């Protein structure tokens, strides 16, 4: 249940890009992007107090946990020993009725953000959908010269699907994945 809360909003000047891929394909699953924003920046220079309220919780939204190291079953380009963001998806996740995905990823220090909305098509299997999201994150971050690594694994004990993201010297971050339907 949502509750009202407040906090500080920090703003950073940064370098962004309008260059991004239009489509990414992975194992028969295709993402066609409608919006992409990628930027990196340094220390915050301004802040403002804000109040916000969550009006409705979406059952199709999944958030990451920040963890000191990933599970041994995932490959992250040689950075398997460092901190990661891990999003867990239930073993019974079905994406056949979903046609869009929105992700918001912020990796700290220094800050790198990747935010995109895309339509999903092709093979709607969970591993393929998560794999194409991982590939899209790495591809779009590379446009700013950032090394970001993402991988997908299945937890044999729980049956959960797991999406991991990391980068060199990752100190903290936020990662939200939302599946929806085209309007």
What are the boundaries of each domain within the chain? 20-38+60-180
| Phi, psi (degrees; rounded to nearest 5) at 139 | -65, -50
What was the pLDDT predicted at 12?
56
Percent with pLDDT over 90 in the chain: 42
| Averaged pLDDT, 62-66 | 92
| Per-residue pLDDT, 13 | 58
Length of the chain: 183
Q: Quote the mean pLDDT of the chain.
A: 82
Q: How confident is the model at residue 3 (pLDDT cuts 50, 70, 90)?
A: very low
The pLDDT-based confidence of 9 (bands split at 50, 70, 90) is: low
Q: Which segment of 62-66, 72-76, 150-154, 174-178 scores lowest on mean pLDDT? A: 72-76
CA quadruple 13, 147, 91, 65: dihedral positive or negative?
negative
DSSP lists the bridge partners of residue 88 as 162
Confidence check: pLDDT of 10 > 70? no
d(CA 141, CA 170): 14
Report the distance separating Cα 51 and Cα 7, nearest Å: 7
CA distances from 178 to 12, 57, 163, 167 (A): 25, 11, 13, 22
pLDDT score recorded for residue 176: 93
**Mean predicted confidence (pLDDT) in 107-120:** 88
Residue-wise burial string across 149-165, b where 16 or more C-beta atoms lie within 10 A, e elsewhere: bbbbbbeeeeebbbbbb
Most confident of 70-84, 91-105, 153-167: 153-167
What's the confidence (pLDDT) of residue 85? Answer: 95
Examine the pLDDT at 19 and tell me if it is beyond 80: no
Does the pLDDT value for residue 41 go beyond 80?
Answer: no
Phi, psi (deg, nearest 5) at residue 142 = -65, -25
Dihedral sign for Cα 143, 149, 155, 156, please: positive
Collapse the DSSP code of 77 into the 3-class scheme (helix H, G, I; strand E, B; otherwise coil) and give the result: coil
CA distances from 128 to 50, 131, 132 (A): 38, 5, 6
């Amino acid at each position: 249940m949502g509750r009202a809360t407040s906090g500080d909003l920090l703003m950073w000047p940064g370098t962004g890009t309008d260059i991004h891929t239009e489509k990414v394909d992975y194992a028969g699953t295709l993402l066609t992007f409608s919006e992409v924003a990628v930027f990196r920046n340094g220390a915050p220079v301004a802040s403002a107090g804000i109040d916000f309220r969550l009006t409705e919780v979406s059952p199709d939204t999944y958030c990451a946990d920040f963890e000191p190291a990933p599970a041994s079953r995932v490959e992250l380009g040689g950075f398997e020993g460092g901190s990661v963001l891990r999003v867990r998806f239930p073993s019974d996740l079905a994406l056949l009725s979903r046609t869009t995905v929105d992700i918001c990823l912020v990796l700290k220090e220094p800050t790198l953000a990747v935010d995109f909305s895309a339509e999903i098509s092709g093979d709607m299997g969970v591993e393929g959908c998560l794999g194409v999201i991982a590939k899209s994150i790495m591809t779009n971050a590379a446009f700013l010269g950032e090394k970001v690594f993402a991988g997908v694994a299945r937890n044999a004990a729980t049956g959960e699907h797991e999406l991991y993201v990391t980068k060199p010297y990752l100190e903290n971050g936020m990662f939200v994945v939302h599946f929806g339907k085209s309007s």
